[in-house]
Amino acid sequence: MFTEVLLALVIGGLIYFLVQRSKNQVLTTEDGWWGSGAPRDAGEDDTIRSFRVTTSDQELETCTSSLISCQDLYRRIDLTRPFPSLEDSQFNYGFNSQYLQKVVSYWRNEFDWRKQVDKLNQYPHFKTKIEGIDIHYLHVKPKKVPEGTSAVPLIMVHGWPGSFYEFYGLIPLLTDLSNPHNLVFEVVCPSIPGYGFSEAPHKKGFDSVCAARIFHKLMKRLGFQQYYTHAGDWGWLVTTNMAQLEPKTVKGLHLNFAPPSKPGLSMALSMMLGRHFPKLFGFTDFDIQRLFPCMEKLVVESIKETGYMHIQATKPDTVGRGLNDSPVGLAAYILEKFSTWTSHDFRNLDDGGLTRKFSLDDLLTNVMIYWTSGCIISSMRFYKENFGQGLDAPHAKIPVYVPTGFACFPNELMHTPRLWVKQKYRKLVTFTPMDRGGHFAAMEEPQLMAEDIQKFTKIVEGKVKE
């Protein structure tokens, strides 16, 4: 009996030691310089400058725009060379050529870029230089804050092939206090360096940790000492790294995408036994449905949807040059993701289901952000910089102890059950199975997203019980 008690104490002490040690693990990083040439001896210019998205006839029809660098949009659209899709192929071979011609015709003849530029400029844009490169961001303050309260600072980070524009339907739901029982947020939406209107790094090695460090510097430059984060896609990793770098600065981390960064024993056991003993792992019927199709189907689905990733994680500059030259190629490459990543079933539709969830105006506005800034190559390089480290990246081994909320959308690319989320995010405050929505959830279902951000933040702030 004494031996058993002693053994239990030793094992318990070892577990406690390992848990406490992991709690003390903090991701470390060093300042970088991503501008061209050597770092400036005089120090960095930390001024904040207003920025506006602009357009003109010259931008669209001649070669004088500084943003486009002599890329003539309309001329290039007119010179595109159509190629027929196979009969009855829908979106199963990629973007259907017949429907692409309809999208291109709308883009060329009906899409009003000036109107969309006005929409982009409805929120204040700024730029500031951090670690040698210009960082673009939106900073949206609430028009009204209830007396005796203050706005909750929130940084929201996009991914690929999205942009800050993904959050345009979500921002007013968080900053306008239509419900007096809700919190009101002060929102910052940066463009990841190399995306949108943020300057691209000029040197190799700019990964998610570098982006996280820069965004911490941005928020502190804006006067915030603590703040919440929200993200999906690459933003998931950037904001996760922010929580790992400065766990006391990030008050709460809200995600709608969280693939396992480093598979562990509990994940392996759940995959082996979860189908037969679902309650043992807390699996729901939906978990079973998403996690346990036949192995052949899992492999085929992975191959169908990850080809782009292999290209961008190895030779992004090669395919990028073609997309940077062809607006039609760029649109096909980006918009195909807004079809199949919103729902796999959309592959079987002639129009890819694109306008079932989004408008062509919104989809083409996102494409135009890539086109006018010429950022497709630099945005794709982010894959190479991050995947180059593989599973040995330091952040993959460090748990997150910042309060975390997870919105689980049913049509997400990879289903992550509660057990797997908790393996990385040890202080999981909310896990919400959503009624509908896919990968671009903030753009597709802004109301559902806003409600979940509110619920999570209220719990962390102590406004409601967990």
Q: How many Å apart are CA 399 and CA 68, to the nearest integer?
A: 42
Where b means 16+ CB within 10 Å and e means fewer, 384-399 reads: bbbeeeeeebebeebe
What's the rounded Cα separation, in Å, for the pair 167 and 186? 13
| Encoded tokens for 344 | 């796999």
Cβ(407)–Cβ(256) below 8 Å: yes
Taking the C-alpha atoms of residue 161 and residue 153, their distance in angstroms, rounded to an integer, is 26
SS (H, E, C) 25-67: CCCCCCCCCCCCCCCCCCCCCCCEEEECCCCCHHHHHCCCCCC
Nearest to 442 by CA among 147, 154, 43: 154
Cβ-contact 407, 254 below 8 angstroms: yes
Contact 281, 419 (CB under 8 A): yes
**Parallel, antiparallel or unpaired: strands 48-51 and 125-130:** antiparallel
Q: Do 151 and 141 touch, CB atoms closer than 8 A?
A: yes
**Positive or negative torsion for Cα 382, 385, 387, 390:** negative
Per the CB < 8 A criterion, the answer to whether 253 and 239 are in contact is: yes
Q: Which residues are catalytic?
A: 233, 383, 439
CB 429 within 8 A of CB 466: yes
